[in-house]
Amino acid sequence: MADNAGTRDLPKRMSRSIFDVMEIDTRLLGMIGAFIVICVVFDVWTGGRFLTPRNLFNLTIQTVSVAIMATGMVFVIVTRHIDLSVGSLLATCSAVMAVIQTIIMPKWIGVEFGNPIIAPVAILAGLAVGAIIGAFHGWLVGYLTIPAFIVTLGGLFVWRNVAWHLTDGQTQGPLDPYFKMLGGIDGTLGETGSWLLGVVAILFTIYLMISARRNKISHSFPVKPIWAEFAIGAIFVAAILGFVWTLNSYDVPVGRIKRLFEARGEVLPEGYSEGYGVPYSVIILIIVATVMTVVAQRTRLGRYIFATGGNPEAAALSGINTRLLTVKIFAIIGVLCALSAVVASARLNFHSNDIGTLDELRVIAAAVIGGTALSGGVGTIYGAILGALIMQSLQSGMAMVGVDAPYQNIVVGVVLVIAVYVDIVYRKRTGD
């Protein structure tokens, strides 16, 4: 009996040791597994329509706006705060940018609609507004010691109605054509550009892995076996190539290609086709994710954020200016809200009063589902993005099978509660 028990326990010990050797986050594996299950279930349920290139392309661009804000929400929650105003702040930034494009620049200043200068001016103004409002929230929380829940709850009401006032309650659009390119389907790299991006991403990934290994060796830290490095590298390469191939597989409608050829004075060759490729909005998300990850893992600001979240009192006693840190964190999420406003309004090609509605709940849910602990001190950027993708997959899948919006929100709420419970159980068992 003792021998049999030992034999039964052996596979479990081996699987754990493999994950330890390869330094793979088992919680991340669980999230990826959940995402795969969701995709397979809805693909079967919809008769193979969920995993088509067209739907995956749409799923990708629909996830970007919430995912961008979720990366900033990680920093906020890690420091034991919360931000309930992100959806309303997005609306205010969107309203500012829309008014600049449709009223101020063309009517007050006389810059013709479609001028290349309009989009940059509008975006810079939106980013500035987001940073100022976010920093103001941080000042109220950090220096006046008003709880973040109250400050941002007030912001939820204030900025939603400021957005309404800026536009007199009217939908603003159409937006500048150059601005519109940042929304997704109207601005992509094309097939060739997407493959080049994939190659650059692979080379950058390999460089990061080699650099990290050399850094560990130089500091006499233990490193993974070479086979483990190659295995993980192969997984990353396969994921990047698969992602690019999927987006390239969604073909541009023939009628649209024909119009583009006619605009150039050319004739569309018979049988010609081309794919959309990687949207510019996804590139924005990739840049944001990279920058936020570097900030979290490689900078003094990131170390201060996680140290403060782990033990605020000890962080203050060690010399960290936690008040100024709070201002910086809320300014960061303010900028990210403005960037999300760019993507969201550009995808719709107009600003509407309901833009960003309930996004605050989706953003918080994405961060929590992605493993950010509400108790503070723990969270990852890639986890938040994956959490946003899981939520959007659920909502898109339910919409495709005809589930009404109220029931979709019920399911998302249940999933959020289950995710928090699973996270609690996981941390208790792993001792985190």
State mean pLDDT over 92-107.
Answer: 95
Identify the CA nearest to 387 among candidates 299, 290, 289.
Answer: 289
Residue 52, judged by CB atoms within 10 A of its CB (0-12, 13-18, 19+), counts as middle
Tell me: pLDDT of 2 over 70.
no
Q: What is the mean pLDDT of residues 230-248?
A: 92
Give every CB contact of residue 173 below 8 A, 6+ residues apart in sequence: 98, 102, 348, 349, 350, 351
Residues β-bridged to residue 277 = 190
pLDDT at 398 over 50: yes
- Highest mean predicted confidence (pLDDT) among 28-42, 144-158, 215-229, 352-366: 144-158
- 3-state SS of 4-30 is HHHHHHHHHHHHHHHHHHHCCCHHHHH
Least confident of 3-17, 101-115, 354-368: 3-17
pLDDT at residue 229 above 90? no
pLDDT at 4 over 70: no
The CA distances from residue 52 to 122, 367, 403, in Å, are 35, 27, 20
Q: What integer pLDDT is reported at residue 16 of this predicted model?
A: 47
Query: Which bin fits 23, alpha (ψ -120 to 50), beta or left (φ > 0)?
Result: left
Look at residue 9 and tell me whether its pLDDT is greater than 70: no
CB count within 10 Å of CB 421 equals: 10
194 CB-near residues (< 8 Å, 6+ apart)? 188, 244, 247, 248, 275, 277, 278
What residue ranges do the domains of the chain occupy?
Answer: 49-187+279-407+416-432, 188-277
pLDDT at 377 over 90: no
Per-residue pLDDT at 258 exceeds 90: no
Per-residue pLDDT, 7: 41
Judged against a pLDDT cut of 80, whether residue 243 lies above it is answered with yes
Q: Choose between 254 and 102: higher pLDDT.
A: 102
Question: Sign of torsion, CA 343 347 352 358?
Answer: negative
Residue 19, pLDDT score: 59
Q: What is the mean pLDDT of residues 222-250?
A: 89
pLDDT band for position 17 (50/70/90)? Answer: low
> Is the pLDDT assigned to residue 431 strictly greater than 70?
no
The structure tokens 């063309």 sit at 106
Tell me what the mean pLDDT of segment 255-273 comes to: 78
**Entry field: residues in the chain:** 432
* CATH topology classification for 49-187+279-407+416-432: ABC transporter involved in vitamin B12 uptake, BtuC (1.10.3470)
Q: How far is CA 280 from CA 71, 121, 135, 208, in A?
A: 18, 18, 28, 24
Lowest mean pLDDT segment, chosen from 88-92, 127-131, 212-216: 212-216
Say how far apart CA 162 and CA 148 lie, in whole Å. Answer: 20
Instruction: Write the single-letter amino acid at 216.
Output: K
* Helix, strand counts (H, E) of the chain: 17, 0
The pLDDT, as a whole number, for residue 263 is 78
